[in-house]
Amino acid sequence: MACRRNSIQSKDRELVQIVDAALADSARRSGSWLACRPGCTQCCVGVFAISQLDAFRLREGLAELDERDPQGAQRVRQRAQDSLRRLKADFPGDASTGIVDEETKEFEEFANDEPCPALDPETGLCDLYAARPMTCRVFGPPIRSAGGLGVCELCFQGATSEQIAACELHADPVQLEAKLLKCLQRTTGERGSTIVAFALGADR
């Protein structure tokens, strides 16, 4: 895989299509058990780790918003900068680079009431929805991790474990995200996980 910036952009769009198609299939199987709706913002509150590929995509999305709606982009940027000011003092990692130490108890308990800077507080919608991180794209349907098969606590009320398993989301079967992360690291030198506020609000 070529590791030039435009190649990464192109392959990332392919990854997004793969994941979104998998999500649509899981959502079809999940039916009314899937409670996710526009304006439901529970998963938009609380800091979580994102990959450098997510950060790259978010910055690309913000640049596109700058062209369409400069004032909207500035509101997102301002929310991110305000968030960084609140978070830096207790940042569980390197506050100068934005790299988090996500395996620590400090990160687990960090800023659980902090809204995502991309969330418009007036509409309850994501201003960078098309560029949102992978965690956001797959949240809601059953997805497997080291801890087993997990779902959003608002979804699958009353479903059996077998019914939940039948709706499992297989987001990236060809491991394209991992390949793109290696490419991005070789191209930019950036590695490790960060947070949305740093991706959107830090001076670069």
What phi and psi, each to the nearest 5 degrees, are found at residue 49? Answer: -80, 140
Per-block mean pLDDT, blocks of 10 residues, the chain (204 long): 83 95 95 90 94 97 97 98 95 93 90 96 96 94 86 92 95 92 89 96 83
User: Which amino acid would we find at residue 76?
Assistant: V
Q: Which residues of 136-166 are buried (b: 16+ CB within 10 A; e: fewer)?
A: bbbbbbbbeeeeeeebbeebbeebeeeebee
Which pLDDT score is estimated for 67? 97
Neighbouring-strand partners of residue 179 = none
Which pLDDT score is estimated for 1? 65
Q: Where are the domains of the chain?
A: 5-30+49-201
Unique residue bearing structure tokens 């769009």: 13
Number of residues that this document lists for the chain: 204
Which pLDDT score is estimated for 187? 87
